[in-house]
Amino acid sequence: MKRLFNVLKEIYVWYFPKKEAKVFCIGMHKTGTTSLAKAMSILGFKVVDYPSVRLIGSRFMWFRGTQLDDYNCFTDATVIPLYKRLDKKFPKAKFILTTRDLDSWLESCSKWPNFNRDNVVGKRKIYRERVLGAKTYQREIFQKTYEAHHKDVYEYFKNRPDDLLVLDISSENKWQHICDFLKVSQPNMSYPHSNDGAAKIKIKTIIHELNLPSEKVSEVHQHFIDKTEVTKDDVINYLKVSEE
């Protein structure tokens, strides 16, 4: 009964969300999405990095829980399959497409341990195949999917330049681009640089090992977004405190 109630609540939030301004970051894996999530947090946004998504079969349906109401900025690859539907739900939303040199991106993907493990199953397998075209690194498929995604985004927003920011992660003035786009003040600090792929993998591994419910996955990601070292005990202790 509780599970049914939670699903019904998800459906209600998806179809009748609070109509506040949202920012959706629709860059591919390994394009600075974690750094962008940190930057958006600095700017005062409530960010959920890699929001958990409800699947029915292999179809992306909606964000799990009440994430759509609880946060106003969503980053990482699980946003990509839903971005057009989200755009229609939030006509005033802004979208940020993080990009990088294609060869550099392919090399980064080829070196990321998480893309070279063949034991990817279940929802993660569906995410990978939907967003990247394959569950493990395959250069030709990854390149084709990367190029297709960018072409799709450019075509979709071709007559709406004020709604899309294409952010090259090699740019020296990322703060200026973001702040001008969102019409917010630029912070007096360096743009965050995250090279913590290993830490991100560690967090996801711990979440998988603990078999956390979907409503806790995004909460844990959000809490540990700025941490470079995380242990299973850290996550367990955090969950204990948050439930007190």
Share of the chain above pLDDT 90, in %: 50
pLDDT of 200 strictly over 80: no
Quick: pLDDT tens for 81-130: 999 999 999 999 999 999 999 999 999 999 888 888 878 778 788 888 98
Specify the pLDDT at position 30: 92
Q: What is the CATH number of the domain that holds 64?
A: 3.40.50
Whole-number CA gyration radius for the chain = 17
Determine how many CB atoms are found less than 10 A away from the CB of residue 215: 15
Per the CB < 8 A criterion, the answer to whether 132 and 29 are in contact is: yes
Range(s) of the domain holding residue 87:
2-243
Bigger pLDDT: 220 vs 183: 183
Taking all residues of the chain, what is their mean pLDDT, rounded to a whole number? Answer: 87
Give residue-wise pLDDT tens across range 117-166: 878 778 788 888 989 999 999 999 999 999 999 999 999 999 999 999 99
Lowest mean pLDDT among 185-194, 195-204, 232-241: 195-204
Phi (first) and psi of residue 58, to 5 degrees: -110, 15
If one counts the domains in the chain, the total is 1
> Got the DSSP string for the chain?
-HHHHHHHHHHHHHHS------EEE-PPTTSSHHHHHHHHHHTT--EEES--EEEETTEEEEESTTHHHH-SEEESGGGGGGHHHHHHH-TT-EEEEEE--HHHHHHHHHH-GGGG-S---HHHHHHHHHHTSSSS--HHHHHHHHHHHHHHHHHHTTT-TTTEEEEETT-S-HHHHHHHHHT-PPPSSPPP----HHHHHHHHHHHHHHT--HHHHHHHHHHTTT-S---HHHHHHHHHHHH-
Least confident segment among 109-123, 168-182, 191-205: 191-205
In whole angstroms, how far apart are CA 139 and each of 81, 150, 209?
Answer: 21, 17, 30
CB 70 within 8 A of CB 46: yes
Confidence of residue 196 (pLDDT cuts 50, 70, 90): low
- Amino acid identity, position 181: F
Residue 20 is encoded by which pair of tokens?
């506040």
**Looking at 51-60, 151-160, 224-233, which range is the least confident one?**
224-233
